[in-house]
Structures are given as structure tokens and as C-alpha cells.
Amino acid sequence: VRAQLSESDVKVLPKTSAVSVVMASGGYPGKYEVGHEISGLERARCVPGVAVFHAGTRGNEALADAKLQTKQTSTPLNRLVGRRRRTTTGISRPMTAGGRVLAVTAVGHGLSEARERAYVAVRSIHFQGAHFRQDIASPKQAADALGRVRCTAPSKC
């Protein structure tokens, strides 16, 4: 399915935040190895409000060919993207195939909840050489970002 952003309905939920953490191969952005097995994906998907997006993974063909189960669940993520969440079954041994391997995205009621959910899911996923930034949406990073944004209602920022 190829969708164009201009043809999509973008929904913004008040009091909802999203945090995305990229898991990369060891050595990235320089030289890195591929072909390492990825484990813990199903456990990560059990964290409320979490979606795992594949980027540098082998088996995208397997992902496309795998049996898809569609579950209708009422979560902030599903309401945010406005579609049903798909989970895969029958996929064996997903492997790394690039520098940026996965993006783990979580939504929550506020930045701290979204951040906690994202990092709980990230810590559930394992592959040789995996690394990720640990400061995404940290209080310091958020304060620095807010310092660059003019807010007219500080109690709501």
C-alpha cells in the first residue's frame, strides 16, 4: 500500500505524546554487521501503546507473506493512527539487515509515560551490537526544546 500524506487524515489527540527510539546496529553510522537474529519483538509489542516499525531488517518478504492477524483494540496509538493494529504470526528469525534496524514508538498520556513505554519496549528487544540513544525525550532534552519554543500558556506546555 502506498499512501500519500496529502491524502491522509492526520489526527492529533490532546494530552497525548509520542516518543520514538531508533535501535541501530553496532558500528552504525560507520561500518556495521548484518544478519544478527532479533528477539523480543512480541514482548515489546505487549507494552501498551507501542508499535515497532521495521527498517533495516531482513525478512521483509517474510513479513509480507506472513499471516496477519488484525486486532481491534482501543489504545491511544490506534486512535492516533486511526487504523487497526496488525500483528504478525508465523515469522521466524527476523534478522538485522541495515544500520537503523527498528523504530520503537510509544504513545502515552504525556511525554514521561510515552518515554517510559518506549524504553520498556526497547529493553525487551535484543540483537548483537544493538544500541540506541538513552536521552530521547529526557527531561533535559525536553526542557532544552521548550526553551526554544515560545509558550503562551506555560501550565499547558
Q: Are 18 and 109 in contact (CB under 8 A)?
A: no
Q: What pLDDT, on a 0 to 100 scale, did the predictor assign at position 92?
A: 63
Q: What pLDDT, on a 0 to 100 scale, did the predictor assign at position 91?
A: 54
Nearest Cα to Cα of residue 107 among 78, 86, 130:
78
The pLDDT of residue 27 is above 90: yes
Residues in the chain: 157
Beta-carbon count within 10 A of 66 CB = 16
Q: Are 102 and 22 in contact (CB under 8 A)?
A: yes
At 32-71, the pLDDT tens digits run 999 999 999 999 999 999 999 999 998 745 444 333 343 4
Q: What is the mean pLDDT of residues 12-16?
A: 81
What's the angle, vertex CA 135, arms to CA 149 and CA 18, rounded to 5?
A: 60
Q: Are 104 and 23 in contact (CB under 8 A)?
A: yes
Q: What pLDDT, on a 0 to 100 scale, did the predictor assign at position 146?
A: 64
Q: What pLDDT, on a 0 to 100 scale, did the predictor assign at position 3?
A: 63
Nearest Cα to Cα of residue 85 among 117, 120, 46, 113:
46
Higher per-residue confidence, 130 vs 77: 130
At 84-123, the pLDDT tens digits run 444 444 556 899 999 999 999 999 999 999 999 999 999 9
Give the pTM. 0.71
3-state secondary structure of 4: coil
The pLDDT of residue 148 is above 60: yes
The pLDDT of residue 156 is above 60: no
Q: What pLDDT, on a 0 to 100 scale, did the predictor assign at position 73?
A: 53
Return the CATH fold of 11-156. Glycinamide Ribonucleotide Synthetase; Chain A, domain 4 (3.90.600)
Cα separation, 97 vs 25, in Å, equals 9
The pLDDT of residue 157 is above 60: no
Give me Rg for the CA atoms of the chain. Answer: 17
Q: What pLDDT, on a 0 to 100 scale, did the predictor assign at position 66?
A: 39
Q: Which residue has the cell 518515554?
A: 115
Q: What pLDDT, on a 0 to 100 scale, did the predictor assign at position 112?
A: 93
Grid coordinates given for 110 = 504525556
